[in-house]
Amino acid sequence: CCEDGPSLYNKPFVESYEETPLLVAVLTYMGYGILTIFGYLRDFMRHWNIEKCSVARERDEQKDFVPLYQDFENFYTRNLYTRIRDNWNRPLCGVPGSKMDIVEQVSHDYNRTFQNTGKIMRDVINMGSYNYLGFAENVGQCADAAIQVTEKYGSGVCGTRCEMGNLDIHQEMEELVARFLGVESALTFGMGFATNSMNIPALAGKGCLILSDELNHASLVLGARLSGSTIRVFKHNNMVSLEKLLRDAIVHGQPRTHRPWKKLLIVVEGIYSMEGSIVRLPEVIALKKRYKAFLYLDEAHSIGALGPNGKGVVDYFGLDPKDVDIMMGTFTKSFGAAGGYIGGKRELIQYLRSHSHSAVYATSMPPPVAQQIITSMTTIMGEDGTSLGADRLRQLSENTTYFRRKLREMGFIIYGNDDSPVVPMMLYMPAKIGAFGREMLKRNIGTVVVGFPATPIIESRARFCVSAAHTRETLDVVRGVRGVSGPLVRPLWLVRLFKGPPSIAPRGLSQHRFLIRHSQGESAPLNCVCVCVCVCVCVRVRVCVSKGEGGQQRRLNWFQVLRCVLGVQDLSCFKGR
Amino acid sequence: KLCICCICLGLYNNKNRKEKRKTKMASGQQWVLVEMVQAFYEAPAYHLILEGILILWIIRLLFSKTYKLQETNKLTEKEKEELIEEWQPDPLVPLVSKDHPSLSYDIVTGPPSHKIIINGKECINFASFNFLGLLDNDRVKQKALTSLKTYGVGTCGPRGFYGTFDVHLELESRLAKFMKTEEAIIYSYGFATIASAIPAYSKRGDIVFVDEAACFSIQKGLQASRSVIKYFKHNDMEDLDRLLKEQQLEDHKNPRKAKVTRRFIVVEGLYMNTADICPLPELVKMKYKYKVRIFLEESLSFGVLGEHGRGVTEHFGVNIDDIDLISANMENAIASIGGFCCGRSFVIDHQRLSGQGYCFSASLPPMLAAAAIEALDIMEEDPDIFTVLREKCTSVYHALQGTSGLKLVGVPLSPSLHLQLERSSGSRDTDQRTLRRIVDYVSLREVALTIARYLEKEERYLPPPTIRVLVTVEQTDEEIQKAVSCIKEAALAVIS
């Protein structure tokens, strides 16, 4: 767990990424292969008008223009995504709280368009929204305060922070955010995505090097790209890879010119939303200090959701917020609002005020949203004089532990850190993405299912976001998963038969799933041996059983034999053989 | 060394052979080998020894470890440590001078509506983009409140993952209907709208023709697209024609490449930086002549130009289907937050998986979408509001003409005008300070104005420093008169 740095971690840091079982990987690729073949077949039929093409077409007047899309560009969308499109964009018609109301939709043209049936699916358990602390509410103190502010201010601002959109409520919010984070000063923006993509360019430029985790969010990638800096990518949460890049960068300087880099900026996230992993912050900070790099920490998912005081990943590890140069986060998730912030030293914020694209050109945050942030943050900090915030934090961590443990016990492969409220459950096969999402919805549970390109091609998964608002719901979800799991869990169980219980690699390095994936070669022979042994046993059983006594030539078919070997079939029917 | 050796050896052999050949030329080619052996016997001892040494030397050179330049270059761990110790990064951010205008924002107490309280002083607002006065409209507020009571504030998710609400879908279809297009898509942030839309279509290798005066979010979108960008002079159709012709010549040279290179013209309906209207009919002609697609940014013109506020297409009577993509934000005339793109489904639907700001960002808070729907209702019910706005704009425009020392930039129809110094002092900072003094002078007389702010180092073509004058329907004639006379007075006092 933490033997490589007992001084760095004050509690066990358990993170697991079980490798994709070989059998499952092969089947998954086969699945994609079949889908692709059918895709080509249908494209062929559409081309010759055998199948009616329902996709929107270019205007006739513009047929001779250069095509707007490359033909293969939409192959995946047209032939794979559309088949299971009903699992996404499900419209809600109420609060995205612990339960939600979903507008029932139906498609009559194979998922190209959806029509409302007029019915509403009530009280679907919400495992999809990032409502970690349950502040997405339409009643209670947050909503009341937001209502008051709306009555006073209205909903818009009609100006940028620099021009005439700097309201008193913004000042109040920024002071509170700075206090919450334990930093000198903070600046807020109207959109979380833009906080990253429009502020990184102000912090790094030509001659700077950005070291970015390979699984960083699209907004961080875009920001890094817009900055004009050189970008190098290190393996996900892999400190060895990061250190190597840091050393090389300083020793060799910039490519071709060999000038030293102006500055190094490490960009990491607190919780990775698709993996459920928590950044190895103590090690990152140690590296950053040793190599004099700057650290940009994106706490989009971790702020509010981690740490004994809900102050994110810094709080979780018990570190000093001053060690992180740029503390970035969003208000969309735990606070049930919208927008993002950047916190740090006073000079940093002053510079951003005058040089951030967002502060100069974008409309500032709407007042009700700002009020929602103020109220929810005060609650978390306990400054409202109640223990509501502390209760929520405790509830969230209990729910997380319980839910993760239950799923693991049921034999699913769960990714991520034990303390992370983002719980990705592996599905692997493309067909299961749609099946799982739909089956869960039938059981009144709304989950997020994701596949390629949001994940690596064979690692499709379902994602559960645990919330403090869930009480009994978590239990129900577990029950639901068990109900759905029949066809889903069995192949994994088969694999377990060969491989034993899931192993959690102890050392930081080998824990890394990419290294594990590389080491797959070592376990492949083992799998082969297992399969061979299994086949031998099957043959032996078949021979034994079919020989029988008394010269009865009753043969078992292979399927029956397999069931015997696996212990599924009751052997009593072959008594005496 | 090896070379020299070989040459020596060769010379010796050659010399010997030539001598022999002279004497025994007639005996034919087959004798050559024999001759060589013979020569070997006949050769003097010193010769053989020398050749032997040379051969040994060659062998030695061939097998000896070669001298590697690389080896001496490799750093030892100790040297690396020293380098790491030595390296000092630049500071994360340079220090900002204490008198930078951004460090002392004006603080607005209460809503920035018609009457605005700036730094504790109530003024008439000529500084917010609230053109139609919908910011503190009671109907809009009520709708937002109702929505807040149903949905709460945040959406807690992107559109794909339970962040789509029925109000979003309603707003999208309402916008599409209002603009008379097939489909509309909403973003949760105005700035991100066009900045995400451009890179969704234009990729590396494609060509984009852009007006020099294009606003910053367009510039960012272009940068994200990594396409080839060609700037044409502001509103200069001849210059655009020249660039397109050049491109046509280029295409003739390489027709295979031309077949896959998408081209786009990106323009603004009403320019943020210059308050000019783009010559849309000419652009549409160019579009069909050179087969280029048009992307139109209408953040300022949407809800302002045209009889029903549909923007610059309605203003010129251009068929909206001729424009491939229209993008606008809902933060100006609509007085909510967010932005939208509209056009044909063939174009727009692509953004639902490729628009980064759409896919990867939390969706628009439902109450803001509801406010936008109500604002659209008001605009549809009462198109007179646009006539009123037009009249106000024109009257402000004419009244501000002939202000001493200040030049009015823009067209009469624009609700966002710029006042620029007639004679620049040559230094941007000094100009800005002068304009700031005018703004301060005016605000003492209860008129709120603001200076247009730009990122000076990052703008592609930095506009000169200006004061922004924003016209709204709420401003009465007396107020306009008062503001204009204040500005004139201030200009006289400050500039002369």
Whether the CB of B321 is below 8 Å from some CB of chain A: the reply is: yes
**What is the mean predicted confidence (pLDDT) over B243-266?**
93
Q: Does A364 touch chain B (CB under 8 A)?
A: no
Q: Collapsing DSSP states into helix, strand and coil, what is residue B234?
A: coil
pLDDT beyond 80 at A559: no
pLDDT for A498 beyond 90: no
Of A136, A264, A290, the CB nearest to B89: A264
| pLDDT confidence tier of residue B285, bands split at 50, 70 and 90 | very high
The pLDDT of residue A518 is above 70: no
CB pair distance less than 8 Å for B96 and A219 = no
pLDDT at B16 over 60: no
Stretch A55-64: mean pLDDT, rounded? 84
Tens digit of each residue's pLDDT (9 = 90 or more) over A173-200: 999 999 999 999 999 999 999 999 999 9
B162 contacts A92? CB cut-off 8 A: yes
Q: Which of A99, A155, A199 to mutate to test the interface with B (most CBs of B within 10 A)?
A: A155
- Rounded to whole angstroms, the Cα distance separating B128 from A187 reads 21
pLDDT at A207 over 60: yes
Q: Other CB atoms closer than 10 Å to residue B114's CB: what's the count?
A: 18
**Which residue in chain B is spatially nearest to A141 when comparing CA positions?**
B152
Looking at every residue in chain A, the average pLDDT score rounds to 83
Q: CA-CA distance, A490 to A568, in Å (whole number)?
A: 12
User: Is residue A340's pLDDT more than 80?
Assistant: yes
Chain B interface includes A446 (CB < 8 A): yes
Contact state of A360 with B453 under an 8 Å Cβ cutoff:
yes
Question: In the predicted model, what is the mean pLDDT of residues B277-294?
Answer: 95
Per-residue model confidence as pLDDT tens digits over B333-353 = 999 999 999 999 999 999 998
Quote the pLDDT of residue A566. Answer: 54
Search chain B and give the residue with CA nearest A61.
Answer: B288
CB contact at 8 A, B308 and B390: no
Q: How confident is the model at residue A502 (pLDDT cuts 50, 70, 90)?
A: very low
**What pLDDT, on the 0 to 100 scale, is given for residue A109?**
83
**pLDDT at position B462, please?**
93
Is any Cβ of chain A less than 8 angstroms from the Cβ of B190?
A: yes
- Cα-based distances in Å from A194 to A350, A355, A363, B337: 18, 14, 12, 14
A130-153: per-residue pLDDT in tens?
999 999 999 999 999 999 999 999
The percent of residues above 70 in pLDDT, for chain B, comes to 92
Q: Report CA A64 to chain centroid distance, whole Å.
A: 42
Q: What ipTM did this prediction achieve?
A: 0.84
Cis bond leading into B366, ω under 30°?
A: no
Pairwise pLDDT comparison (B4 vs A371), residue with the higher score: A371
pLDDT above 70 for A458: yes
C-alpha atoms less than 13 angstroms from C-alpha of B132 in its C-beta half-sphere: 33
Q: For position A571, what pLDDT does the model report?
A: 47
Q: Give the C-alpha separation, A142 to A374, whole Å.
A: 9
Q: Hey, are the CB atoms on B362 and A192 less than 8 Å from each other?
A: yes
Confidence check: pLDDT of A3 > 50? no
Q: What is the pLDDT of residue A215?
A: 92
Structure confidence by residue, pLDDT tens digits, A4-36:
444 677 777 888 777 777 888 888 898 899 989
What confidence tens digit (pLDDT) does each residue in B458-470 have? 898 999 999 999 9
pLDDT of residue A58: 85
Task: Report how far residue B220's alpha carbon sits from residue B213's, in angstroms, rounded to the nearest whole number.
Answer: 13
Query: Which pLDDT band, with edges at 50, 70 and 90, does B72 fall under?
Result: low
pTM score? 0.84
Q: What band does B10 get if pLDDT is binned at 50, 70 and 90?
A: low
Scan residues 96-155 of A and list those with Cβ closer than 8 Å to B.
Answer: 96-97, 100, 103, 126, 128-131, 135-138, 142-143, 146-147, 150-155
Would the pLDDT of B445 be above 50?
A: yes
pLDDT digits (tens, 9 = 90+) for B356-379: 999 999 999 999 999 999 999 999
- Above pLDDT 90, what percent of chain A? 51
Give yes or no for residue B189 having a pLDDT over 50: yes
The CA-based angle A515-A517-A521, given to 5 degrees, is 105
In a 10 Å sphere around its CB, with 0-12 CB exposed, 13-18 middle and 19+ buried, how is residue B128 labelled? buried
A157 to B337: CB separation less than 8 angstroms, yes or no: yes
pLDDT, chain B, mean: 90
pLDDT digits (tens, 9 = 90+) for B83-95: 999 999 999 998 8
User: Which has the closest alpha carbon to B379: B129, B125, B113, B137?
Assistant: B137
Residues 6+ apart with CB under 8 A from A6: none
What's CA A519's distance to the chain center, in Å?
Answer: 24
How far CA B234 is from CA of B214, B239, B242, B267, B273, in Å, comes to 9, 9, 14, 10, 11
